[in-house]
Amino acid sequence: MLSKARRAIRRSLRDGSTSEDKSQVSSGDMNPQLRPLDLTQSSILRYLYFERFFQHIKGIEGDIVECGVGNGDSLIILSLLAKREGIGRRVWGFDSFEGFPEPTAEDRSIRNPQKGEWRSDLGAVQQRLRMAGLDEHFVNRQATLVKGFFEDSLHLFRGRHIALLHLDCDLYQSYKTCLETLYPLVQAGGIIAFDEYVNTMQLLSFPGAQKAIDEYLGENHRLIVSDSETGQYYLEKPE
């Protein structure tokens, strides 16, 4: 299964690559934020994880939305799958691209997250999408990156519905803002995937994430299930 997924990703990377892309990938002094997608076991499992969601949302209208883009690894996979699906779903990526906002008391942990951590670069993410084999039309028209802290940027979402919402927000208030703003737009039967939930290390590092999710969902938090292959948690939105 892993080898099949690896071939599928390599085919996508190969089909859209240019000689310029390849020279950038091989450059020894390449900006680390411009590295190509690593085909590690972890990234292959994540590809398969998201692929299962795309199978699930067949027939469900809506866009693909990610909150917390970082350097773009998950966004690349979501974009490759949206491109392969071929029905024109738009892919949205929201991120401050300035790192974490100020953590709150709910985020205190052994990891001690700090404002400004995980700073990334919007232009580098766009270039990585191109390096992954996605054409200019997709990067410029079908994929939309929105810069800004969530409370300032989520209102810029222009889609009518969401079929798949991937939340990789780390912090309490970030999760609360994303759920309050975007959960109502997720179609019944659509997927909300949580990067931080009850995974042991993630919970120890980012306790505010689970607190925000459980508070927002109330009794519906009991509907959250674990993916058997990755251990990640997700919710199929009830009717």
The string of DSSP letters for 38-61 reads: P--HHHHHHHHHHHHHHHHTTT--
Q: For the chain, 239 residues long, give each residue's pLDDT as a single digit of tens.
A: 666 666 666 665 555 443 334 333 333 344 556 677 777 888 899 999 999 999 999 999 999 999 999 999 999 999 999 999 999 999 999 999 999 999 999 999 999 999 999 999 999 999 999 999 999 999 999 999 999 999 999 999 999 999 999 999 999 999 999 999 999 999 999 999 999 998 767 878 999 999 999 999 999 999 999 999 999 999 999 99
Q: Would 139 be classed as within a structural domain? A: yes
CA dihedral 149, 181, 81, 62 (to 10 degrees): -140
Q: Is residue 53 part of a domain?
A: yes
The answer to whether residue 33 is domain-embedded is: no
Number of domains into which the chain is organized: 1
Residue 27 lies in a domain: no
Nearest C-alpha neighbor of 127 from the set 16, 45, 39: 16
Provide the 10 A C-beta neighbour count for residue 198: 15
Domain that holds residue 145: 2-16+38-236
24 occurs within a structural domain: no
CATH number at residue 153: 3.40.50.150
Q: Is 197 among the domain residues?
A: yes
What are the structure tokens assigned to 7, written together?
């071939």
